[in-house]
């Protein structure tokens, strides 16, 4: 079934905290660039400086600078449009992490393809294109009005934009735009969701059915254990902790868990079994 998203009028006070933080950071970066001489060359992404002069902060700071008011406005609008449903589903922590990863992926693509360039690259477009991919993967049948006029499904729009960026970059049609950086943000977002999130879902499923790990040899939970008290804990806080532990397992292995973290996963497993019975 086709899904149509509707947004309330833009109200800064009602924005979720993750989007609000990014909006403020981008606006501050844009305003400060008028006050600091040579801001774009210092904090934009200049491949020759970032790679050979070790200006390692540039892949992080470039995405908060913009060349014009319209450049900033377009990126903030796309951040609001695609970011609202994504943060609502993922939560602030995972949303911010994903935004950073896509921005860094865009920077890595540009550094790899233009390592000796001395032209600064600025803007949040790489991260925003990653949000477009996430929205299309989460809600592929959602209807988006391209240029406010043409209805198109989110999945088709992501493919269309990806093709435009690839062919524009390959032909050099718009040399002032870092097309492959945009594409790098899209590819990073796609790989992250397809790989990392799928593994996390499988790990959750494993814990629900009982992990094939040393956790099975742990002493059984007694009736007096804090399992019943778990139901009074804010579910969003609990799931945030479970997701953090799953991230740790994926990156460092099961053996890296502390006794407290193992206890959290044990309680999570017991609760899920209780809800399914």
- CA distance linking residue 193 with residue 153, whole number of Å: 19
Determine the length of the chain: 277
Residue 183 CA: distances (Å) to CA of 21, 26, 154, 178: 25, 21, 17, 9
Cβ–Cβ under 8 Å, residues 46 and 58: yes
Q: Of 166 and 17, which is predicted with more confidence?
A: 17
Domain positions in the chain: 3-193, 213-276
Domain 3-193 fold: Rhomboid-like fold (1.20.1540)
Percent of the chain scored above 90 by pLDDT? Answer: 41
Nearest to 116 by CA among 29, 42, 50: 50
Give me the pLDDT at residue 105, please: 95
Give me the pLDDT at residue 263, please: 78
The predicted model gives 179-186 an average pLDDT of 90
Give me the pLDDT at residue 208, please: 57
């Amino acid at each position: 079934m086709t899904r149509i998203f509707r947004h309330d009028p833009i109200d800064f006070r009602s924005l979720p905290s993750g989007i609000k933080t990014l909006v403020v950071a981008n606006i501050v970066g844009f305003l400060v660039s008028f006050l600091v001489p040579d801001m774009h060359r210092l904090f934009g992404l200049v491949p020759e400086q970032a790679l050979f002069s070790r200006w390692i902060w540039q892949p992080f700071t470039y995405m908060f600078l913009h060349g014009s008011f319209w450049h900033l406005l377009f990126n903030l609008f796309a951040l609001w449009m695609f970011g609202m449903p994504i943060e609502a589903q993922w939560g602030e922590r995972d949303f911010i992490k994903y935004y950073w990863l896509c921005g860094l992926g865009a920077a890595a693509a540009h550094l790899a393809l233009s390592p000796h360039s001395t032209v600064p690259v600025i803007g949040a477009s790489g991260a925003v294109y990653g949000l477009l991919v996430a929205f299309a993967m989460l809600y592929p049948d959602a209807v988006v009005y391209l240029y406010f006029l043409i209805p198109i499904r989110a999945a088709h729009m992501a493919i269309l934009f990806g093709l435009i960026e690839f062919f524009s970059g390959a032909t050099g049609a718009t040399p002032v735009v870092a097309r492959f950086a945009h594409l790098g943000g899209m590819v990073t977002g796609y790989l992250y969701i397809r790989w990392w999130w799928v593994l996390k879902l499988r790990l959750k499923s494993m814990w629900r059915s009982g992990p094939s790990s040393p956790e099975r040899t742990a002493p059984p939970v007694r009736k007096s254990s804090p399992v019943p008290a778990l139901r009074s804990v804010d579910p969003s806080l609990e799931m945030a902790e479970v997701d953090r532990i799953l991230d740790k397992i994926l990156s460092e292995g099961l053996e890296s868990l502390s006794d407290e973290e193992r206890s959290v996963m044990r309680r999570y497993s017991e609760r899920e079994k209780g809800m399914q019975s």
